[in-house]
Amino acid sequence: MPERGELLRPDRRRHRRRCALRRRHPCPRRRRGTGGRPRRPRLRGGRRGREGRPVVRLREATPDDADAVAAVAADAWWAACSAALSAEAVRTALADLYDEAFLGEVAAEAADQPDFRFLVAVETEAGGESPGDGETVVGFASAAREWADEVELFTLYVDPDRWGEGVGSELLAALEAWAADRGAERMVCSALADNAVAVGFLESRGFERTREVEAAVGGETTAEYEFEKSLDG
């Protein structure tokens, strides 16, 4: 990925990937500036609930997750964005940004790009031992190092039925740790100004608003906040 001050000039494939995985709108954002809802990342072993409860763990997304990822995104958009967008705009944005076939391509690409990460949070019935055994995708997140010292959080969505359980916090913490390990000093992202769920989540996790801009989403124009968080310490 580029050094500071040298933005990668993306080819069409990478540009489309960045657009599709933007948190709230399809246009690449300027250099400075998502949330789902909400524990600490545990990429091996996951988070164990009470006896008999499913286990939630994080892993890398695969092309086979595309349909489930699209479904989580749709549920989260409908639950969180109704105050900011019309129903038609939500439908249009989801159709544009979360095509299952393209999400499969993105997951495959992520496996080959060291500066791009695409994670899913999966719920596994207690006692499941084999990978994929009884798994249900309950959230996902993606980010890329676009500058030597900065990572952009593209997406962070959680199934609304799992909000408040720490799934979003686990996904965010995992990407923050990954970003810091790659030498990034900060993480940036954006959220629709009227998306109280995303704004509240980001601010509660230490993100600060840097500016307000207008964003084109699903054929409508709406206000959007850009955020930044220091990864030092």
Regarding pTM above 0.85, the answer is no
**Band of pLDDT at residue 124, cut at 50, 70 and 90:** confident
Contact 23, 153 (CB under 8 A): yes
Tokens 């084999």 correspond to: 130
pLDDT at 112 over 70: yes
Residue type, 93: A
Q: Is the pLDDT of residue 41 over 50?
A: no
| pLDDT above 50: residue 22 | no
SS (H, E, C) the chain: CCCCCCCCCCCHHHHHHHHHCCCCCCCCCCCCCCCCCCCCCCCCCCECCCCCCCEEEEEECCHHHHHHHHHHHHHHHHHHCCCCCCHHHHHHHHHHHCCHHHHHHHHHHHCCCCCEEEEEEEEECCCCCCCCCCEEEEEEEEEEEEECCEEEEEEEEECHHHCCCCHHHHHHHHHHHHHHHCCCCEEEEEEECCCHHHHHHHHHCCCEEEEEEEEEECCEEEEEEEEEEECCC
| pLDDT tens-digit readout, 141-180 | 999 998 889 999 999 999 999 999 999 999 999 999 999 9
Note the pLDDT of residue 132: 56
Angle, in degrees to the nearest 10, between helices 100-110 and 66-80: 110
pLDDT, mean over the chain: 79
What six digits make up the tokens of 154?
A: 């593209």
Is a pLDDT exceeding 50 seen at residue 18?
no
Residues 47-75 have a mean pLDDT of: 83
Q: Report the pLDDT value the prediction gives residue 3, as an integer from 0 to 100.
A: 37
pLDDT of residue 42: 32
- Does domain 12-26+33-230 fall under CATH 3.40.630.30? My reply is yes
Q: Let me know: does 229 contact 203? Beta carbons within 8 Å.
A: no
Percent of the chain with pLDDT over 70: 73
Give the distance, in angstroms, between the CA of residue 45 and the centroid of all CA atoms in the same chain: 21
Angle between helix 100-110 and helix 12-20 axes, rounded to 10 deg: 110
